[in-house]
Amino acid sequence: MDDNYQNYTKAPIMSTPNETSFEVSDFFELEDWINEDEDNYPVLSSMPVGYNNNHSQMNQNYMVHNDMDFNSSGISNLHEGTFVQGGNNRIGRKEVRDKVAFKTKSEVEILDDGFKWRKYGKKMVKNSPNPRNYYKCSVEGCAVKKRVERDNEDPRYVVTTYEGIHNHQGPHL
C-alpha cells in the first residue's frame, strides 16, 4: 500500500505501475448503492463547477471510460466507472452541498484526480470488510473532502465520494 500511496498522491505520474491493470469493457451497476440513497444521489445530473476545470472528459458524459484521464498529466489509474452526483441534497438532516460519487474499477484505492489529498481518518464500516478512508484537500482554505472505500461485493471496484467543490484550480494553487 505504501508504494501505491506514494505514487498516486504525491505527484501525478506518467506511467502505470505493473499492479495497476484494468479491464475495459464490463460496466457495473450502482443499483444497490443508489437504492440506499436514491434521493441523495440523482444519477447523471450536472457536474459541479469545481470539477469541470480539471475533469473535462468526465463532463462530457459522466461516465469514466477506460481511456479517461482526469487531466492531461497522463494519470491512468482511473478507467472505468459510473458517475453519480447529488446537488444541494439532504442526507438525513444534514445539508450536503455538492456530493459526487463514482465507482471505478481499480486495483488501487488511491485515484489520482489531479488534486492533493491529506488522509485524516480511516474507519471500518459495518457492511463492508474493507476500511473506509477519509481525505481532505490539502490546499489551504479548500474544504473538499473525499471518502474512498472498496466495494464490499466486488472488491475490484473502488467507491469514491467527493464532497464540496474545490475553490482552486489545481493542487498547487
Partner DNA sequence: CGACTTTGACCTGCGC
Partner DNA sequence: GCGCAGGTCAAAGTCG
Chain residues in the site for DNA (CB under 7 A) = 1-2, 5-6, 9, 92-94, 116-127, 132, 134, 138, 145, 147
What letter would DSSP give residue 77? Answer: S
Cα–Cα dist 71/60, whole Å: 14
Q: Distance (Å, rounded) from C-alpha 18 to C-alpha 171?
A: 26
State the minimum distance, in angstroms, from the CB of residue 2 to DNA: 6
Question: Following CA atoms 165, 10, 102, 68 in sequence, which dihedral angle do they give, to the nearest 10 degrees?
Answer: 110
Q: Residue 132, exposed/middle/buried by CB under 10 A (0-12, 13-18, 19+)?
A: middle
CB of 52 to DNA, least distance (A): 24
Of 35 and 127, CB closest to DNA: 127
Q: CB 57 → DNA: shortest distance, Å? A: 25
Q: Pick between residue 26 and residue 140 the one whose CB is nearest to DNA.
A: 140
**38's grid cell:** 436514491
Cβ of residue 16: shortest distance to DNA, in angstroms?
A: 19
Tell me whether residue 80 or residue 86 sits nearer to DNA (CB atom): 86
